[in-house]
A = this chain, B = another copy of it.
């Protein structure tokens, strides 16, 4: 079973039964393949008698997107597994534990999180996660700081960056986030009702300049090891626990890209409230909760990142130069704001949407949500280089929201 081939359930059980210290010897294991078959096989393997289970995830050598398949190297399984292991060391308890990685079979065996839900689903139901801002800000502060030149040996960081070279997955981001939405691309996908909005994106020169500058940062700024795809579909959650999953897009890039991804997905949910079948008051309260979470995440991130820097900073000059930390954090906020905006825009007119908005059944509510998401996204992109505090972001969202109502 050494050469690569897609596993069947019997083989998956055989691998699981050999793991050290996971299942009892002789346990009767049950296995189901629960993946969507697009990129990976996902086996859920359980010992129901003992109440123990694990996930075995195997990369497939192609991706099914819009019907057609395109080839993807299995190296992404290595990147995902190595990123998970590193994130687990840096941010204990905030990613699933990894029990085994087999390079040849491109498989990773990890903690089963079936007791968690995908955060996007939870948000869509209007659930609140009061611990989330604390958890995700810790995850972001620790993974970004300790893989950056501020908190990691600067020679070893170069070797880390080398091992996380990830051209294939970066290409997806470069095209789908930083190019296609701003031209009449075949890959774009949007409701005919908002064609005017899509066309406006294609001819907005001011927006193109800002997106080009953000794209350049994505292409060239090797600041820290990013998760690279940190939307609310990459987060398993309960009211008590947060687990970040699926870092197959991991690479060395600009920190603000990860932070912005989290904020953007909260704001996409904010926009999706246009279609909520609850009272206006309840909608506003949930929106307030989302905005408070956005502000909390940034504020706590900044506080934790600076605390790590003060305690563990390895760059003498960066530690000591007057005004450097302030300038660094301001640029980080600006990047976060710009990337958040890009992430919102692409989820409305680009190839891959979010269920928060797409699943709204009422066409008029969906259209309102889409227009609001674009309005917020564009205003964040245009704000980015001028942003000086997270309150400006909140104000921009509220102002877009009021303008949409007018």
- CB of A208 within 8 A of CB of B317, answer yes
* A363 interface residue (CB < 8 Å to B): no
In the complex, the answer to whether A208 meets B167 with C-beta atoms within 8 Å is: no
How far is it, in angstroms, between the C-alpha of A165 and the C-alpha of B159 when the chains are bound? 7
Residues of B within 8 A of A174 (CB): 154
Q: Beta-carbon contacts of A287-317 to B below 8 Å, as 1s and 0s?
A: 0000000000000000000000000000111
Q: A324–B214 Cα gap in the complex (Å)? A: 11
Report the Cα distance A317→B207, complex, angstroms.
11
Contact B208 A320 (CB under 8 A): yes
CA distance A316 to B213 in the complex (A): 13
B321 touches A211 (CB 8 A): yes
Given A317-B208, A321-B205, A158–B154 Cβ distance below 8 Å? no
Q: Is the pair B154, A219 in contact by a Cβ cutoff of 8 Å?
A: yes
Q: A168 — which chain B residues lie within 8 A by C-beta?
A: 155
Interface size on A, residues (CB 8 A): 44
List A314-368 residues whose CB lies under 8 Å from chain B: 315-318, 320-324, 327-328
Segment with Cβ contacts to B, from A10-18, A176-184, A275-283:
A176-184
- Chain B residues whose CB sits within 8 angstroms of the CB of A154 once the complex forms: 167, 171, 174, 219
Whether the Cβ atoms of B317 and A212 lie closer than 8 Å is: yes
In the assembled complex, the Cα of A167 lies from the Cα of B178 at a distance in Å of 30
Stretch in contact with the other chain, from A23-31, A62-70, A119-127, A220-228: A220-228
Is the CB–CB distance between B149 and A216 below 8 Å?
yes
User: A209 contacts which chain B residues (CB < 8 A)?
Assistant: 321-324, 327
Minimum CB–CB distance from A318 to chain B (whole Å) comes to: 5
Q: Give A172 Cβ to nearest chain B Cβ, in Å.
A: 11
Chain B residue numbers with a CB within 8 Å of A32 are none
Using A149-B216, A221-B221 as known contacts, list a sample of 9 further A-B pairs with CB atoms less than 8 Å apart, ordered by residue number in A: A149-B220, A155-B168, A159-B167, A205-B321, A208-B320, A208-B321, A211-B321, A212-B321, A222-B222
Q: Please list the residues of chain A having a beta carbon within 8 angstroms of any beta carbon in chain B.
A: 149, 154-156, 158-159, 161-162, 165-168, 170-171, 174, 178-179, 182-183, 205-206, 208-209, 211-213, 215-216, 219-223, 315-318, 320-324, 327-328
